[in-house]
């Protein structure tokens, strides 16, 4: 089976080999305070910064999920309150988890409209760069404008289903994060958080130390390339190996954009299937959401499964009327071609 699920998604085909390699190299029982582990963490960070073009001055932390990142930001980065701009299920969940800990303002917007740029209250603005539930993406241009209009606030950006798939301008945000089971093409259980010097200063100033995963402690431990607790060492090793193979993000991003254009082009051609998002300005490059009538959607899923291809279920309330296609770098061109052919030949469902 090849999975087109936008998370957990198809992993790079070399992963089994790297797991074997990790076992042979003693990584599976490696002490997380050992010199070898610190060296691994250091090298992984260097590789991340190089391949994804993350500024040298930024700090990289390893957590276990994007959900943990949401919660840690609410506890350790928000001083008084945050404002959440969102148009889908993941952005809304982030708001809900935050509201359990701190006051937070909701700014919902429609999935066909662009991010509403304005001056907002709150000391942290929370944005979902790529909304995995509905297949929308925020442009770097709008992030830039949002920053200009909110010079004092910190920008926290959930890039779970876009980081390592498309080029991001990290200088436009203070905290970026992603779990690795999406665009990174890795198994779940690890997330990457990228913090700007401004974010570090805020964490220092707030000095929140009540939790095992308080950012203050995490940043302090990372100065020695360590974590507050035993981390997912195998996950970090796999991340390191996959990053070593990865081309520079500029190159990967170009290919992902071309592939996205091919997906949307195909949907424009077929009568039966349509892109769920009509506004080209807000369409995601990494998660393509397809709409059709419910019978047709069922037929696609069945036919695809018979061909050894797993398409992503529509998310939440969009389950009956959409399906999703991950346009992630780990999926092989041959498999993409297979699914494209299948969709092109789709007969009308009776
Ligand atoms: C998948 C996803 C999450 C949740 O990731 P976990 O690793 O399961 O916590 C959060 N935000 C976005 C945008 C996602 O796509």
Mean predicted confidence (pLDDT) in 220-224: 98
Residue 171 has a pLDDT of: 98
Cα-to-centroid distance, 303 and ligand 1 (Å) = 28
Name residues whose C-beta falls within 8 Å of residue 250's C-beta, 6 or more positions apart in sequence. Answer: 53, 167
Ligand 1 in reach of 128 Cβ (< 6 A): yes
Identify the residue whose C-alpha is closest to ligand 1 atom 7.
65
Residue 42 has a pLDDT of: 98
Give the percent of the chain with pLDDT over 90: 98
pLDDT tens for residues 244-258? 999 999 999 999 999
pLDDT tens for residues 6-18? 999 999 999 999 9
pLDDT tens for residues 266-301? 999 998 999 999 999 999 999 999 999 999 999 999
The number of beta carbons lying within 10 Å of the beta carbon of residue 31 is 11
* 3-class secondary-structure state, position 301: helix
By most ligand atoms within 8 Å of CB, the mutation choice from 85, 96, 160 for ligand 1 is 160
* 3-class secondary-structure state, position 22: helix
Give the percent of the chain with pLDDT over 70: 100
Domains and CATH numbers, the chain: 2-8+248-344 (3.90.1150.10), 15-245 (3.40.640.10)
Round to whole Å and give the CA distance between 57 and 323.
40
pLDDT tens for residues 38-90? 999 999 999 999 999 999 999 999 999 999 999 999 999 999 999 999 999 99
Mean predicted confidence (pLDDT) in 228-243: 98
Q: How would you classify the pairing of strands 175-179 and 191-195? A: antiparallel
By most ligand atoms within 8 Å of CB, the mutation choice from 68, 179, 313, 315 for ligand 1 is 179
Residue 213 has a pLDDT of: 97
- The token pair that represents 272 in the structure block: 């039966």
* 3-class secondary-structure state, position 134: coil
Q: For the stretch 244-263, what's the b/e string if a residue is b when 16 or more beta carbons lie within 10 angstroms of its beta carbon?
A: eebeebeebbeebbebbeeb
Q: Would you say the pTM of this structure is higher than 0.95? A: yes
**How many CA atoms, within 13 angstroms, populate the side-chain half-sphere of residue 287?**
31
Mean predicted confidence (pLDDT) in 190-207: 98
By most ligand atoms within 8 Å of CB, the mutation choice from 7, 94, 176, 324 for ligand 1 is 7
* 3-class secondary-structure state, position 77: coil
Ligand 1 in reach of 136 Cβ (< 6 A): no
Is pLDDT above 90 for 349? Answer: no
Q: pLDDT band for position 180 (50/70/90)?
A: very high
Residue 125 has a pLDDT of: 98
């Amino acid at each position: 089976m090849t999975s087109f699920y936008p998370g957990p998604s198809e992993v790079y085909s070399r992963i089994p080999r790297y797991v074997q390699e990790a076992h042979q190299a003693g990584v599976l029982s490696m002490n997380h305070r050992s010199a070898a582990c610190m060296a691994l963490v250091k090298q992984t960070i260097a590789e991340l910064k190089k391949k994804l073009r993350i500024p040298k001055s930024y700090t990289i932390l390893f957590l276990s999920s994007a959900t943990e990142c949401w919660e840690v930001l609410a506890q350790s980065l928000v001083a008084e309150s945050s404002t959440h701009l969102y148009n889908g299920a993941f952005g809304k969940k982030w708001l809900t988890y935050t509201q359990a800990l701190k006051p937070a303002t909701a700014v919902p917007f429609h999935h066909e409209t662009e991010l509403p740029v304005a001056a907002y209250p709150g000391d942290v603005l929370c944005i979902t760069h790529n909304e995995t539930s509905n297949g929308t993406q925020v442009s770097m241009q709008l992030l830039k404008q949002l920053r200009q209009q909110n010079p004092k606030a910190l920008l926290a950006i959930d890039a779970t289903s876009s980081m390592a798939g498309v080029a991001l301008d990290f200088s436009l945000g203070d905290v970026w994060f992603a779990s690795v089971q999406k665009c990174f093409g890795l198994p779940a259980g690890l997330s990457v958080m990228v913090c700007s010097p401004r974010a570090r200063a805020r964490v220092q100033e707030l000095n929140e130390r009540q939790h095992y995963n308080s950012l203050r402690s995490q940043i302090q431990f990372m100065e020695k390339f360590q974590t507050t607790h035993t981390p997912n060492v195998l996950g970090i090793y796999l991340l390191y190996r996959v990053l070593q193979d990865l081309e520079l993000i500029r190159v990967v991003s170009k290919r992902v954009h071309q592939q996205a254009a091919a997906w949307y082009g195909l949907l424009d051609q077929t009568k039966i299937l349509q892109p769920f998002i009509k506004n080209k300005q807000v369409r995601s490059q990494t998660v393509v959401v397809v709409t059709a009538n419910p019978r047709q959607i069922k037929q696609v899923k069945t036919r695809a499964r018979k061909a050894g291809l797993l398409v992503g279920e529509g998310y939440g309330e969009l389950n009956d009327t959409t399906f999703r296609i991950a346009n992630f770098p780990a999926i092989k061109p041959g498999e993409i071609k297979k699914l494209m052919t299948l969709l092109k030949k789709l007969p009308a469902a009776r």
